[in-house]
């Protein structure tokens, strides 16, 4: 148990992502505060989530490209009840689909905002939430 000297019990830590072979560069660059995604040379486009082939043309000639980290809210939901105790202190929080300026859409939390001010098409930028020895790409209002 995570008992503090005050007698309070610390909340459990948030889960860390499991790093797969195809997503390892994504997490490694996130530690350096860089948002990188796989890039297809045939489609000339980045895609999310990381895979070993392009989801549009199945090309396996994939490289990694740094993105601007800027985008807009495509869709979102305000979470008022968490299924995990580790998120209890964050309630309410925003879970969103972000459409990056370069095109791909990715799911993340929107941090550093009043949940009542979030709207579709709101401009956001990436930030990197420290979690254990990892950093998680999240977003905040621009």
Binding site for Zn ion (CB under 5 A): 40, 42-43, 54, 56-57, 59
Nearest approach, Cβ of residue 45 and Zn ion (Å): 7
Nearest approach, Cβ of residue 56 and Zn ion (Å): 4
- Smaller CB separation from Zn ion, 59 or 68: 59
- Smaller CB separation from Zn ion, 54 or 73: 54
Instruction: Give the HSE-up count for residue 125: Cα atoms under 13 Å, Cβ half-sphere.
Output: 5
- Nearest alpha carbon to residue 88 among 19, 139, 14: 14
- Smaller CB separation from Zn ion, 40 or 96: 40
CB within 8 A of 34, min separation 6: which ones?
66
Instruction: Give the HSE-up count for residue 70: Cα atoms under 13 Å, Cβ half-sphere.
Output: 4
As a whole number of angstroms, the distance between CA 111 and CA 67 comes to: 19
As a whole number of angstroms, the distance between CA 95 and CA 75 comes to: 9
Nearest approach, Cβ of residue 59 and Zn ion (Å): 5
What secondary structure does DSSP assign to 49-81, as a single string? S--SS-TTT----EEEEE---EEEEEEEEEE-S
Nearest approach, Cβ of residue 74 and Zn ion (Å): 21
- Smaller CB separation from Zn ion, 53 or 93: 53
């Amino acid at each position: 148990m995570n008992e503090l000297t005050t007698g309070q019990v610390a909340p459990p830590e948030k889960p860390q992502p499991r790093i797969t072979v195809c997503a390892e560069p994504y997490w490694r660059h996130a530690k350096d505060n860089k948002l990188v995604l796989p890039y297809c040379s045939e489609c000339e486009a980045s895609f999310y989530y990381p895979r070993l082939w392009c989801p549009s043309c199945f090309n396996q000639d994939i490289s990694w490209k740094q993105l601007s980290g800027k985008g807009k809210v495509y869709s979102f939901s305000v979470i008022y009840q968490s299924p995990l105790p580790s998120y209890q202190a964050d309630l309410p929080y925003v879970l969103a689909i972000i459409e990056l300026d370069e095109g791909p859409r990715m799911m993340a939390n929107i941090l550093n905002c009043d949940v009542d001010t979030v709207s579709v098409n709101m401009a956001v930028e990436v930030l990197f939430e420290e979690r254990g020895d990892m950093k998680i790409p999240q977003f905040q209002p621009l």
